[in-house]
Amino acid sequence: MRSPVVVTVLSCIAVAGCNAGHSAMDGAEQFGAGLGNAATAPLDVFNLRPAVIPTVLLQAQANPYDMRNMSRCSTIGAEVVRLDEALGPDMDEPPPVDGRYMSERAADATAAAALGAVRDTTTDFIPGASWIRRLSGAAQHEREVQAAIQAGRMRRAFLKGMGMQRNCAPPAAPSWFVPGPGTRR
C-alpha cells in the first residue's frame, strides 16, 4: 500500500513532466511564429518595414499638455487608457502576476534567445549596416518613434496629475491615488 505522500509526489512529477512537454511545444510554436519576423530583420535596416506610430502618440507629440475636451474625469481616464494601450502599463501599475510554470518561462526565454540569434545572424552579414540605417532613414524613423513614445509618457503623466488635482479615480489618476470625498466622474 502506498502512502498518500508518495502518490501526491508521483502525481506532481507526472503533471510537471506533462507541463514541461507542453511548455516545450509552446516555445517551439513561439519560435516558429517569430521566425519570419526575425529572418526579415534586414528589411528594418533598409527601412522597408518602418514601425507605425499610433495616432494617440502623434497627438501627444503635437501637444502633450492639451486639455481640450478634458473637463471630466471620464474623458481624462479614457485618454489615459488610450495611451496605456499604445505604451503598455504605466510605472505606477503593479507588475502583472506571472502565474506561468518555470518550464513555460524557460521555453519563452529559449525561444526569445533563438529568435534573437536568428535576427542577429540575418543582419550581421550586411556590411556597413549602421551607415545603411542612416542613409535609408531607418535610424531617423527609430528616433521619431522614440520621441513619440516619450511624448506619450509625458502626456500620460500630465493627465494623471490633472486627474489627481481634480480628485478623479484611477485610471484618470495614478493607481495608488485614493480620491477624497466628492469624487468626480
Q: What is the pLDDT of residue 181?
A: 83
Q: What is the pLDDT of residue 46?
A: 60
Q: What is the pLDDT of residue 108?
A: 74
Q: Which three cell numbers stand for residue 44?
A: 528594418
Q: What is the pLDDT of residue 4?
A: 44
Other C-beta atoms closer than 10 Å to the C-beta of 118 total: 18
Q: What is the pLDDT of residue 11?
A: 44
* Cα–Cα distance for residue pair 174/159, rounded to 1 Å: 10
User: Do residues 20 and 111 touch, judged by C-beta distance below 8 A?
Assistant: no
Those residues with Cβ within 8 angstroms of residue 59's Cβ, 6 or more apart along the chain or in another chain = 66
Cα–Cα distances in angstroms (integers) from residue 138 to residues 49, 112, 116, 150, in the given order: 9, 23, 19, 18
Mean pLDDT of the chain: 76
* Cα–Cα distance for residue pair 116/165, rounded to 1 Å: 45
Pick out the chain residues at pLDDT < 70.
1-49, 115, 118-131, 133, 182-185
Q: What is the pLDDT of residue 85?
A: 95
